[in-house]
Amino acid sequence: MQAKHAVIGKDLTLKGAIRNAALVEVWGSIVGAVQADHVVIHPGGRIEGRLEAGAADVEGRLDGRVRVRNLISIGATGTVTGDVRYGGLALALGGSLAAEVRNIPPELGGDFEVVVKQGQSVRVTPADLSARDAEDDDASLVYTVTNAVQGFIALASAPGEPVSNFTQGDIAAGSVMFVHQGDGVEPGGFDVVVSDSQGATTGAPRHVGVAVVRAT
């Protein structure tokens, strides 16, 4: 079933899937899978199965495999059980959460490529490398740098000093630089992992390639 706004009435039980919806309101029951931007489970409503949503408000029952990118809000009459991953969590007095709960880790984006002139430096921009997290601001997203080749990462305030950590806020401010070392033009690079304020990470290190061109 595909709909921009789907409403499951009080006396209705839907067995199946709702996909690509903007808003799903549940007064009755869904047994199956729901994929939507926003899901509201009203008092007496129930979803059992899989839920993938941008945000969810739960005043009824939610049971199963739950992935909410932003905020899952569990109201005073809400009950959530199962395997839950979320960007943000709000639990009202009286609400119930009995689940394996994990914070959704940050996401990495960008083209993962920079170009530097031989023996010089270049700023790493958000187009090259960017992290985002539904629950944390740029200053709370911390990069760890390893395996730098043909140069090092530095901050603009101290361009001669290698650093192993910086934040997304540093990238947004134009403060992160790759400094080339050496006389050749062999390609370089470095690996990064990003962690958020709760310790969730982007997982395996992601390589950022550095193309070196001759200075004119």
Is 195 or 105 the better-scoring residue by pLDDT?
A: 195
Domain count, the chain: 2
Answer yes or no: do 117 and 182 share one domain.
yes
Of 103, 131, 147, which residue constitutes the final position of a domain? 103
Answer yes or no: do 178 and 86 share one domain.
no
By CB neighbour count within 10 A (0-12 exposed, 13-18 middle, 19+ buried), where does 159 fall?
Answer: exposed
User: What is the spatial distance between Cα 28 and Cα 22, in angstroms, rounded to a whole number?
Assistant: 18
CA 175 to chain centre: 23
Answer yes or no: do 43 and 135 share one domain.
no
pLDDT of residue 99: 73
Of 83, 103, 123, which residue constitutes the final position of a domain? 103
User: What percent of the chain has pLDDT above 70?
Assistant: 99
pLDDT of residue 1: 57
User: What is the spatial distance between Cα 142 and Cα 185, in angstroms, rounded to a whole number?
Assistant: 30
Question: What b/e string do you get for 103-112 counting C-beta neighbours within 10 Å, with b at 16 or more?
Answer: bbbbebebee
Of 55, 86, 103, which residue constitutes the final position of a domain? 103
Compute CA distances 210 → 78, 114, 173, whole Å: 50, 5, 20
pLDDT of residue 196: 87
The answer to whether residue 52 scores a pLDDT higher than 80 is yes
Is 82 or 104 the better-scoring residue by pLDDT?
A: 82
Q: Taking residues 171-197, report their average pLDDT.
A: 93
Which helix (H) or strand (E) covers residue 72, if one does? strand 61-74
| Token pair for 192 | 């990064």
Write the pLDDT tens digit of every residue in 126-138.
Answer: 999 999 887 788 9
Is 200 or 208 the better-scoring residue by pLDDT?
A: 208
Binning pLDDT at 50, 70 and 90, where does residue 75 land? very high
Answer yes or no: do 54 and 112 share one domain.
no
Looking at residue 170, the DSSP 8-state letter turns out to be H
pLDDT of residue 2: 55
Is 141 or 215 the better-scoring residue by pLDDT?
A: 141
Answer yes or no: do 197 and 122 share one domain.
yes
Answer yes or no: do 117 and 203 share one domain.
yes
Answer yes or no: do 112 and 187 share one domain.
yes
Q: Alpha helix (H) ranges present in the chain? A: 168-172
Answer yes or no: do 92 and 132 share one domain.
no
Answer yes or no: do 51 and 88 share one domain.
yes
Per the CB < 8 A criterion, the answer to whether 119 and 183 are in contact is yes
177: domain CATH number?
2.60.40.10
pLDDT of residue 133: 85
Answer yes or no: do 113 and 98 share one domain.
no
Answer yes or no: do 72 and 114 share one domain.
no
The answer to whether residue 81 scores a pLDDT higher than 80 is yes
Answer yes or no: do 154 and 203 share one domain.
yes
**Domain region containing 45:** 5-103
Neighbour count for residue 118 (Cβ, 10 Å): 16
Write the pLDDT tens digit of every residue in 12-45.
Answer: 999 999 998 999 999 999 999 999 999 999 999 9
Binning pLDDT at 50, 70 and 90, where does residue 3 land? low
